[in-house]
Amino acid sequence: MKILAMNDGDFLSDTLALIDLACDLTGIDDRHRVLLKNVSRRLSVEYPVVLDDGSTTIINAYRFQHCNARGPYKGGVRIAPTVSEAEVAALAMLMSLKSAVLGLPYGGSKGGIVVDARKLSPCEMERLCRGYIRAVFPVIGPANDIPAPDMNLSQDAIGWMLDEYEMLAGRYEPAAITGKPRVIGGSHGRATAVARGGVYIIEEVEQRRNIYYSTYAIQGFGNVGGSLAKILHGMDRTVVAVSDSKGGIFSANGLDIPAVAKHKAETGSVVDFPGADNITNEMLLQLGVDVLVPAAREDQISEKNADQIKAKIILCLANGPINQKASEILSARNILVLPDVLANGGGVAVSYFEWVQGRQGYYWSEEEVARRLKDLMKNALYDVYRMSLELRCDMYTAAYALGVRNIVEAMEARSFG
């Protein structure tokens, strides 16, 4: 496959292996398989950003578009010094699959900006974001490709990106980018959508199994992990451990999450939170909790550490945190894995609601957004469940199979391939 010629990484190899397995299970032919395993457009750009000291630096960035059979491309923009072409390609593929699992009229894409966000001042970050939009402007737009937040991209940054897009377009285009502040066309519930969608999935599993999951360990304390911790804390669930890139903390009696958030804001990390024990990210993954939530980044649980996992269920809010071999091991051990393309779909779901609201110029109440999100997540969960019964496989594999089947149906309707 052509894409393997890129600087390959485990994450992309794992994603391609999953697509292959899903194609095998659903009887997808080679014509469509080859499309699913490649991206249709790889835009790689270099653009200048003026730093506060007056010097100029050149930034590398990407916008990869995977497949638009089901609708316009849709995908976030990630800022990290480690962002690679292989990573952006895998993330674009996951976006197509995720939208297809949720039944949204979107294809998949992803953006990446190769820089350490922590080294930039707010003014430099604004110039970085505006420059990115100028560089990718020819391939994005409300009916072409709609960016959104991903790692290290705040709501303010999305506001700057939308403003830059609208200045270049010469008109208001609130549906061009999602995840923006509400005062400029954002939706209620977008900032917490990934976490909220995950909570709806957990509640539905609890209801179905007649069980109550009280203890949680969350890897990652950013947009997604931090929001989830706050929501669970507000629901009187016990978050015993959280972590960030510098390490984690544990308290058997539960962490005071608002106090942890304050500590992180003041010190830059959750580590050394008073009254809790410092632990490593590896230790967090192995805690004996009801629910383990990888909410940081890809490649966290593989065949190397799947035997060590003690949680009852795993809610994958990060993209690509578990590979297929690990999911097989976990499934054989009766640990339910709720995969990324289902579990973190709340983000693209509320992005879709935001896009719809922007296109019609009519904005919904908080209750309306929450009701629609809950319905959508619940329906997707049961669609995946039915697929797992049909194919006699675990929920993880079933989600990918459902995504692949839904995309290929649209490809066939358009005679793609």
Ligand X SMILES: NC(=O)c1ccc[n+]([C@@H]2O[C@H](COP(=O)([O-])OP(=O)(O)OC[C@H]3O[C@@H](n4cnc5c(N)ncnc54)[C@H](O)[C@@H]3O)[C@@H](O)[C@H]2O)c1
Which residues are annotated as part of the binding site for substrate? Answer: 74, 98, 351
354 binds ligand X (CB under 6 A): no
Q: Report, in angstroms and rounded to the nearest whole number, the Rg of the chain calculated over CA atoms.
A: 20
Decide: 47 and 121 in contact? Cβ < 8 Å. Answer: no
Closest-CB residue for ligand X? 222
Interaction mask 249-288, ligand X, x per CB under 6 A: --------------------------------x-------
- What's the token pair of residue 186? 């954002």
222 binds ligand X (CB under 6 A): yes
Give least dist CB 34 to ligand X, A. Answer: 26
- The burial class, CB within 10 Å (0-12 / 13-18 / 19+), for 308 is exposed
- Residues of span 139-158 touching ligand X by CB under 6 A: 149-152
User: What DSSP string describes 80-113?
Assistant: -TT--HHHHHHHHHHHHHHHHHHT-S--EEEEEE
d(C-alpha 406, C-alpha 411), whole Å: 9
192 binds ligand X (CB under 6 A): no
Q: Please give the distance of CA 286 from its chain centroid, rounded to a whole number.
A: 23
Is position 230 annotated as part of the catalytic site? Answer: no
198 binds ligand X (CB under 6 A): no
What is the four-CA torsion angle of 37, 158, 45, 118, rounded to 10 degrees? Answer: -100
- Residues of span 282-311 touching ligand X by CB under 6 A: 295-297
Give least dist CB 110 to ligand X, A. Answer: 9
Binding-site annotation: residue ranges for NAD(+): 223
Among 319, 324, 357, 406, binds ligand X (CB under 6 A): 319
- Residues of span 331-350 touching ligand X by CB under 6 A: 344, 347
**CA atoms within 13 Å, Cβ hemisphere of 256:** 7
Which is nearer to ligand X, 25 or 376 (by Cβ)?
376
Size of the site for ligand X (CB under 6 A): 25
Which is nearer to ligand X, 35 or 194 (by Cβ)?
194
Q: Which listed residue (2, 37, 110, 262) is catalytic?
A: 110
221 binds ligand X (CB under 6 A): yes
d(C-alpha 183, C-alpha 4), whole Å: 43
Among 22, 61, 135, 317, binds ligand X (CB under 6 A): 317
Q: For residue 340, give the nearest of 326, 355, 354, 357 by alpha carbon.
A: 326
Give least dist CB 365 to ligand X, A. Answer: 21
d(C-alpha 250, C-alpha 271), whole Å: 10
- List contacts with ligand X (CB under 6 A): 76, 149-152, 194, 219-225, 243-245, 281, 295-297, 317-319, 344, 347
Please identify every residue annotated as catalytic: 110
